[in-house]
Each structure stands twice: as C-alpha cells, then as structure tokens.
Chains A and B, each alone.
Chain A
Amino acid sequence: NAGVTQTPKFQVLKTGQSMTLQCAQDMNHEYMSWYRQDPGMGLRLIHYSVGAGITDQGEVPNGYNVSRSTTEDFPLRLLSAAPSQTSVYFCASSRGAKDTQYFGPGTRLTVL
C-alpha cells in the first residue's frame, strides 16, 4: 500500500494561474479531505468528500474547487491562484467517519 499520495511536492505559481493538486489513496477509503496549513494557524479544512460523487465545503473553501469521480482520487483545483493561497496543502483519507484519518506528505505551494 502506498497510502495517501500527493503530487507535486512543491509548486510555484504566478498570480492568476490555475493548477490542480493531485491526491490519491489505495486503501479504498470513502472519506477524503483537503486541508491547508499556514504558520501559526494549524490545519484548516478546505473541502471534503464522503464518497464518490459527494463533496462538501469546509472552513475555507473560497478559491478552491473539488470533485470526486472515483473512490481513489480527490483533486483540488485552484482556478486563479492568489498570493493568499500560498500554503502547505494536505490531503487525508479514512475508511469511515469514525476511523483514523491518514495524511499525505503535503504539497508546498507558493503563489508569486
């Protein structure tokens, strides 16, 4: 099992550019989430999914889109990157709502 994988590990964007952060898990987990981590602010939930075709907003969803067409993949899209989106992004998954949440290694994104 590779667990939760994220690509890329690092990315630099210019303001206004778009990109997709990839997240995949091979554990057949139903629940997946995206977080951002900023200095001094802990992790904040962006979007989450409780199964293929089902997504919902978290605490800080503005500027981000998600979709869940398969159980394995949960990409995060930035349509028009802004400097305020400079952060470290984590993807996480769990089998069910009551189960342990496993995190990916993170993507460090810088928007200039």
Chain B
Amino acid sequence: AQTVTQSQPEMSVQEAETVTLSCTYDTSESDYYLFWYKQPPSRQMILVIRQEAYKQQNATENRFSVNFQKAAKSFSLKISDSQLGDAAMYFCAYRSHTSGTYKYIFGTGTRLKVLA
C-alpha cells in the first residue's frame, strides 16, 4: 500500500523569505501523480501544484515549485517570496496512475505560519 509522510507538523517563514515543505512517499508503482494542496482557515482545499511521475522536469506555478526526486521518493514544495496569504495547512497527496484506480492518499499536513 502507498503511504505519504509529511514529517514537519509546523513551519514558520518570514514574509518575503523562502520556505521548503517536505514530503516523502512510498510506492512500488512507476507511474503516478503527486500533488500539493493548500487549506487556509476557510477550510477550502486548493490545488497548488501537481507533478506527473514520468516527467523529469520539476513543476512550477509562479512562486511555487517542487523538487521531485523519484528515486528518493521525495516531493518537496518550495514557496518563494512568502506572503501573509500563504499561511495555511499544506497537504501532500499521491494518486496512482493505474487504470481503474482513483484513490488519493494524503499526508498529515504541515501548518505554515508566515511572520510579518
């Protein structure tokens, strides 16, 4: 069975600085998707970024980028130029690419605090 581990329950970053959130996963599959979701205090789950395992290039979305290390099964999220609005819970998630499978596995989350 696949597992997703976020070992940092809480992180803090100064406004305008850069922070990296860690995520590791365990799987025997070779093709899958990885995601980072943001959950602000409003409770709404918002997709931040996604990565297909077959793509070697790391995904980027404006100030958000990932460091995808397939061999190490690591998928970290880097937030550059942190803003107060980035304060939220961040969840790493895995989904198999196997045909007929639609099960997402979520990590336990990292709470990010942004200090003014």
Instruction: Decide if B103 touches A45 in the complex (CB within 8 Å).
Output: yes
- Tell me the nearest residue of chain A to B96, going by C-beta: A97
- Distance (whole angstroms) from the CB of B46 to the closest CB of chain A: 8
Given contacts A41-B108, A42-B109, contact A100 B47 (CB under 8 A): yes
Instruction: Please give the number of chain B residues whose Cβ is less than 8 angstroms from any Cβ of chain A in the complex.
Output: 22
Q: Which of B46, B103, B107 has the most CB of A within 10 A?
A: B103
For the side of the interface on A, what is the size category? Answer: 20 to 34
Residues of A within 8 A of B33 (CB): 98
Residues in B lying within 8 Å of A, measured CB to CB: 4, 6, 33, 42-47, 50, 91, 93, 97, 101-109
**Is there an interface contact between B45 and A58, defined as CB atoms closer than 8 Å?**
no
Q: Which of A38-66 contact B (CB under 8 A)?
A: 40-45, 48, 50, 56, 58-59
Nearest Cβ on chain B to A1's Cβ, whole angstroms: 15
Residues in A lying within 8 Å of B, measured CB to CB: 31, 33, 35, 40-45, 48, 50, 56, 58-59, 88, 90, 92, 97-98, 100-103, 105-106
Q: How far is the CA of A59 from the CA of B105 in the complex (A)?
A: 9
> Which residue of A has the minimal Cβ distance to B42?
A105
Bound together, the chains give a CA A97 to CA B109 distance in angstroms of 23
Cβ of A110 to closest chain B Cβ, rounded Å: 15
- Neighbouring B residues of A35 by C-beta, 8 Å: 104, 106
Q: Are B108 and A40 in contact (CB under 8 A)?
A: yes
Q: Are B107 and A42 in touch, CB under 8 angstroms?
A: yes
Point out which of B43, B45, B107 has the most chain A C-beta atoms below 10 A from its C-beta. B45
Q: Are B103 and A105 in contact (CB under 8 A)?
A: no
Contacts of A90 in B (CB 8 A): 45
A42 touches B106 (CB 8 A): yes
Contact of B44 among A97, A100, A103 (CB under 8 A): A103
Shortest distance from the beta carbon of A37 to any chain B beta carbon, whole Å: 9
Bound together, the chains give a CA A83 to CA B65 distance in angstroms of 40
Interchain CB contact under 8 A, B108 and A48: no
Whether A97 contacts B103 in the complex (CB less than 8 A), given A40-B108, A103-B44, comes out as no
Given A42-B107, A43-B91, also A105-B44 (CB < 8 A): yes
Partner of B43, one of A31, A33, A40, A105: A105
